[in-house]
Amino acid sequence: MSERVTAERVIPEGGRRRRRPTKQGAVLSERLIVETALRLVAQHGAEALSVRRLGAALGADPSALYRYFRNTDALLLALADELIGRAQEGWRATGDWREDLRSMGLRIHACYLSHPQAAVLGAYRTTGRPHETAAVERILGILAAAGFPAPFAVRAYHAFIDQALAFAAQDAAALALPKAAREADEAVWNSVYGRLSADTHPHIAAAFPLLAADMRGSGYPFALELLLAAMAVALPAAAGS
């Protein structure tokens, strides 16, 4: 009795042979699906992304997607990797590690914010896809060239990338909130924090104007600056760029 190998439903991207159009005339591909999904999310919000709706947007039966992605999770990872790739497009190293890390961090942050709905879905995943590994390699390269010893470089890399992604996801989530909820959250600064008594909350009362102004923007640029400053301090003087 021969052990029958279960036929894998998903054909890896290289091995595809047929390009049969759907009833509605669309010719599917991994690339088309990812782009359609991003467009769907951008136009109708993160909650609009379902296999059924994506199928409809593509002009195909929902189940056809399972020929390209094992499940929705695999699709999400593809979306996340696409975002990472777009963040790196056209990035050039200057040779100054601090400037390079700064520009890369700000790029990642900005790119995710420009697709907030998709960013929320993918920012906390490890995809292992090409764009991701390229980014990891690049950042480790910057740190190595700067002269950081390997154990420190690894921890610094971890802190740097997680902080970039975490802030990106957080700011994206705030942006992706339903309009009513977002406005309500912003109004809290004036309606609650602006009216706290100096007796019970002296420091908030004293700092309020500065605070309300600063909290309107993202905390990421300054947090990144602090991170880079701490790394510069830790860099052995002999290896300084």
Partner DNA sequence: TTTACACGTCAATGGTGTTGTCGTAAGGTC
Partner DNA sequence: GACCTTACGACAACACCATTGACGTGTAAA
Can residue 10 be called a binding residue for a copy of itself (CB under 8 A)? no
230 binds, among DNA, a copy of itself, none (CB under 5 to 8 A by kind): a copy of itself
SS3 content of the chain, % helix, strand, coil (to 5): 70, 0, 30
Question: Which of 17, 92, 179, 216 is close enough to bind DNA by CB under 7 A?
Answer: 17
Question: Alpha helix locations (H) across 51-177?
Answer: 51-58, 72-88, 97-114, 116-122, 130-146, 150-176
CA torsion sign, 223 to 229 to 231 to 234? negative
Q: For the segment 143-172, give every residue that binds DNA (CB under 7 A).
A: none
Residue count (the chain): 241
- Pick from 52, 58, 72, 51: nearest CA to 23: 58
Question: Which of 9, 31, 52, 158 is close enough to bind a copy of itself by CB under 8 A?
Answer: 158
Distance of alpha carbon 176 from alpha carbon 153, whole angstroms: 34
CA torsion sign, 91 to 96 to 99 to 104? positive
Can residue 156 be called a binding residue for a copy of itself (CB under 8 A)? yes
Q: Which is nearer to DNA, 54 or 168 (CB)?
A: 54
Q: 214, 163 in Cβ contact below 8 A?
A: no
- Pick from 55, 67, 83: nearest CA to 30: 67
> Taking the complex as a whole, how short is the minimal distance between the CB of residue 62 and a copy of itself, in angstroms?
20
CA dihedral 21, 26, 28, 29 (to 10 degrees): 120
Can residue 79 be called a binding residue for a copy of itself (CB under 8 A)? no
Binding mask 116-155 for a copy of itself (x = CB under 8 A): -------xxxxxx----x--xx--xx--x-----xx-xxx
Question: Which of 24, 43, 94, 241 is close enough to bind DNA by CB under 7 A?
Answer: 24
Sheet strands (E) in 17-73 = none
Distance of alpha carbon 212 from alpha carbon 204, whole angstroms: 10
> Taking the complex as a whole, how short is the minimal distance between the CB of residue 66 and DNA, in angstroms?
4
Question: Which of 2, 14, 20, 237 is close enough to bind DNA by CB under 7 A?
Answer: 20
Note the residues at the interface with DNA (CB under 7 A).
7, 9, 11, 16-24, 28, 49-53, 60-64, 66-68, 70-73
Note the residues at the interface with a copy of itself (CB under 8 A).
73, 123-128, 133, 136-137, 140-141, 144, 150-151, 153-159, 161-163, 165-167, 169-171, 173-174, 177-178, 180-181, 184-186, 188-189, 191-193, 196, 200-204, 206-207, 210-211, 214-215, 218-220, 222-223, 225-227, 229-231, 233-234
